[in-house]
Chain A
Amino acid sequence: EADIYQTPRYLVIGTGKKITLECSQTMGHDKMYWYQQDPGMELHLIHYSYGVNSTEKGDLSSESTVSRIRTEHFPLTLESARPSHTSQYLCASSLTGRSGYTFGSGTRLTVV
């Protein structure tokens, strides 16, 4: 059973809308990550957090923003969605010095 939850699983929205993708984990992991997965499968890190009130941009430039107010919650927000944002978004978490990533099931976003 998944200990990291992403909602919604699928989302179709119109251009210009503001959206928030939710990610929560119940494992007490201190580190959390957002990846964008393109149709060619590759995983691109767009944001990460090593703890509460700590967020960093990843290797792939993204117009999204994140926040980490609580350990278990790491939402990703797009202020104005565009068709180029259409992708699969994967959230992951890990525990410092102890574990690899645990991934959520992903949110498949389509912007029309």
Chain B
Amino acid sequence: GENVEQHPSTLSVQEGDSAVIKCTYSDSASNYFPWYKQELGKGPQLIIDIRSNVGEKKDQRIAVTLNKTAKHFSLHITETQPEDSAVYFCAASGNFNKFYFGSGTKLNVKP
């Protein structure tokens, strides 16, 4: 089955700086890569996703990049704000079947 690894497990940045979270996957059949944000006391929420036919996708301060050859994808958050503090999960899926999640990154944005 698929194996998704996520790094780092914790990340602390100063407000206004950028944050990058990286994930690798093992199954070349995976073709859909969502990112989720989980705030305290809530379930994870989809924030951005990318399909394997696209190398990069951007939505305001958030961007995701995908390198199919190397089997890795990354989440980039620019101009971080305290409300970006949360746990972030990457995931990989083949044709929207079962999703395989990374182990999570706890992001702390210091004001």
- Number of B residues near A (Cβ < 8 Å) is 24
> B95 — nearest CB in chain A belongs to which residue?
A97
Contact of A100 among B42, B49, B106 (CB under 8 A): B49
- Number of A residues near B (Cβ < 8 Å) is 23
A41 touches B34 (CB 8 A): no
A102 touches B103 (CB 8 A): no
Q: Which of A61-69, A70-78, A79-87, A103-111 contacts B (4 or more CB under 8 A)?
A: A103-111
A103 touches B44 (CB 8 A): yes
Expressed in whole angstroms, the minimum distance between the Cβ of B42 and any Cβ of chain A is: 6
Q: Does A52 contact B (CB under 8 A)?
A: no
Q: Which residues of A contact B99 (CB under 8 A)?
A: 94, 100-101
B98 touches A45 (CB 8 A): yes
Q: Does B45 contact A (CB under 8 A)?
A: yes
- The answer for the CA separation of A48 and B38 in the assembled complex, in Å, is 21
A41-B87, A48-B98 are contacts. A100–B103 as well, Cβ < 8 Å? no
Residue in B89, B95, B96 with the greatest tally of chain A CB atoms within 10 Å: B96
Expressed in whole angstroms, the minimum distance between the Cβ of B54 and any Cβ of chain A is: 15
- The answer for the CA separation of A96 and B103 in the assembled complex, in Å, is 24
Q: Which residues of B contact A1 (CB under 8 A)?
A: none
A94 touches B96 (CB 8 A): yes
Residue in B1, B43, B99 with the greatest tally of chain A CB atoms within 10 Å: B43
- The answer for the CA separation of A94 and B103 in the assembled complex, in Å, is 21
Q: Which residues of A contact B42 (CB under 8 A)?
A: 105-106
B103 touches A41 (CB 8 A): yes
Q: Does B46 contact A (CB under 8 A)?
A: yes
B89 touches A43 (CB 8 A): yes
- The answer for the CA separation of A110 and B56 in the assembled complex, in Å, is 42
Q: Which residues of A contact B43 (CB under 8 A)?
A: 6, 90, 92, 103-106
B104 touches A100 (CB 8 A): no
Q: Which residues of A contact B25 (CB under 8 A)?
A: none
- The interface of chain A, by Cβ under 8 A from chain B, is 6, 40-43, 45, 48, 59, 90, 92, 94-106
